[in-house]
Amino acid sequence: MIATTAPTAGTGAWCRKSTSSARCSCDGGRYRRRASFEARFGITALGVARPRQRTSNDRAATGPPVTATGGNTPGGAAWVTEERYAAVSRVLIRVLFLNLAVALAKIAFGYASGAISILSDGFHSLTDTAANVTGLIGVRAAGQPPDEDHPYGHRKYETVAAASVTAFLLLVMIEVLRNAFNHLTGRSAVPTITAASFAVMLATVGVNLLVISYETREAGRLGSEVLLADALQTRGDVWTSVTVIGALIGTKSGIAILDPLAALLVAGFIGHAGFQIARATTRILSDRIVIAESDIERIVNGVPGVLGCHHIRTRGSSDHVFLDLHVWLPPAMPLTEAHDLSHVVKDRLIARYPQIADAIIHIEPPPPRKF
Ligand SMILES: [Zn+2]
Ligand SMILES: [Zn+2]
């Protein structure tokens, strides 16, 4: 049995560094060998093809073999192509400049006219720009394959960027609150609302609507969660701007307090956004569980030949997950067979959860009391 499952001479070692079995399956005789193995265990084809990443594939082909203990070296099969990363990056950069123009126009006009509702809305738009930068860093980092310095990949750079955005949002919120306080206590002059105020607001809302339709279209075309989330956020901005326009109309008709009140409301939005980013960042940095243990367990136990599993751990971000677990296999199973079965488990997990960047599977016999 061992002889039939031994790697072919042309393939050499078959469990490569920085390679998920989904990708190493195409190397030489590897696929055929496992296919027959799966057939023997009554396992059908996975049916889910994962897009391949050219660079890490090339790297994988030269990576040193790792075969010991059934553990698969982390490194990650990025589940999106490089071309897609580049396309998403391009969209984000264009949107970044549009958002920046919108933000600067409102901030400049807000300071000049003394209308702090416009000023706060400008800062709110600036936070979108910061979010674009974070998204861009995340997409760029995710496009970088793991290297010698960062064997787990570069996704944490996105988390670092998100943490800086939280600090930035806090500063922005303090600035808006300071201005609102000055207006409420009468330390600042009542703003002069002119036709230009409305023109600036309406023009920026127009740009926002343009960004929404562009991002929604591209998100659908590229299947990008990042772009979709950004489009949704911009949709929220339109409502913020509409609120500010309402406050400007009120201020113009003599209810001057509406201007600082609208600013306070926007400060609340900024604070809420900051809280959400801080919470998401904390979850990633504290290695909070990403995929429920029971969900993983169900898939692993569904693989014929597997007796059970335990010590399931997931960490990372919702779209880039590292998984490790112990899988129980029959004690008498030959190592080559056990290793192959561990790859079947890994393939099934990644097919069900494409966000799994890598799964490290420790194979062991079940505890005696259980079987
Ligand atoms: Zn392997
Ligand atoms: Zn164990």
Q: In the prediction, which pLDDT does 318 show?
A: 82
Q: Same domain, yes or no, for 163 and 249?
A: yes
For ligand 2, the distance from its centroid to the CA atom of residue 112, given in whole angstroms, is: 66
Q: Same domain, yes or no, for 45 and 141?
A: no
Q: Same domain, yes or no, for 52 and 138?
A: no
Q: What is the pLDDT along the chain (371 residues), one digit of tens a residue?
A: 333 333 333 333 455 443 444 344 433 223 333 333 443 343 333 333 333 333 333 333 333 333 333 333 333 334 446 777 788 888 889 999 999 999 999 999 988 888 888 988 999 888 878 877 877 887 777 678 888 998 888 888 878 878 888 888 888 888 889 888 888 887 777 778 888 888 989 999 999 999 999 989 988 888 777 778 788 878 878 888 888 898 889 888 888 888 888 888 888 888 888 888 889 889 999 999 999 999 999 999 999 999 999 999 999 988 789 999 999 999 999 999 999 999 999 999 999 999 898 999 999 999 987 55
Q: What is the ipTM of this complex?
A: 0.92
For ligand 1, the distance from its centroid to the CA atom of residue 318, given in whole angstroms, is: 25
- Asked whether residue 52 is domain-assigned, the answer is yes
- Asked whether residue 330 is domain-assigned, the answer is yes
Supply the range of the domain harboring residue 242.
82-285
**Count of CB atoms within 10 A of residue 272's CB?**
13
Backbone torsion region of residue 313, taken as left when φ is above 0, otherwise alpha when ψ lies between -120 and 50, otherwise beta: beta
What lies within 8 Å, CB to CB, of 302 at 6+ separation is 348
Counting ligands in written order, which one lies closest to the CA of residue 308?
2
- Tokens 């706060």, residue? 120
> Looking at the 3D structure of the chain, how many domains does it have?
2
Q: Same domain, yes or no, for 231 and 325?
A: no
Q: Could you tell me the CATH number of the domain that includes residue 238? A: 1.20.1510.10
Q: Same domain, yes or no, for 259 and 113?
A: yes
Dihedral sign, Cα of residue 33, residue 39, residue 41, residue 44: positive
- Asked whether residue 72 is domain-assigned, the answer is no
Phi and psi, residue 357, nearest 5°? -75, -40
The DSSP string of 19-78 is: --HHHHTTSTTHHHHHHHHHHHTTPPP---PPP--HHHHHHHHHSPB--GGG--------
As a residue count, the chain comes to 371
For ligand 2, the distance from its centroid to the CA atom of residue 325, given in whole angstroms, is: 8
**Do residues 191 and 115 lie in contact, with contact meaning Cβ atoms separated by under 8 Å?**
yes
Q: Same domain, yes or no, for 340 and 211?
A: no
Q: In the prediction, which pLDDT does 17 show?
A: 43
Q: Same domain, yes or no, for 210 and 337?
A: no
For ligand 1, the distance from its centroid to the CA atom of residue 139, given in whole angstroms, is: 28
- Asked whether residue 74 is domain-assigned, the answer is no
Counting ligands in written order, which one lies closest to the CA of residue 363?
2
Residue after which a domain boundary falls, among 285, 314, 339: 285
For ligand 1, the distance from its centroid to the CA atom of residue 313, given in whole angstroms, is: 19
Q: Same domain, yes or no, for 134 and 270?
A: yes
Q: Same domain, yes or no, for 276 and 297?
A: no
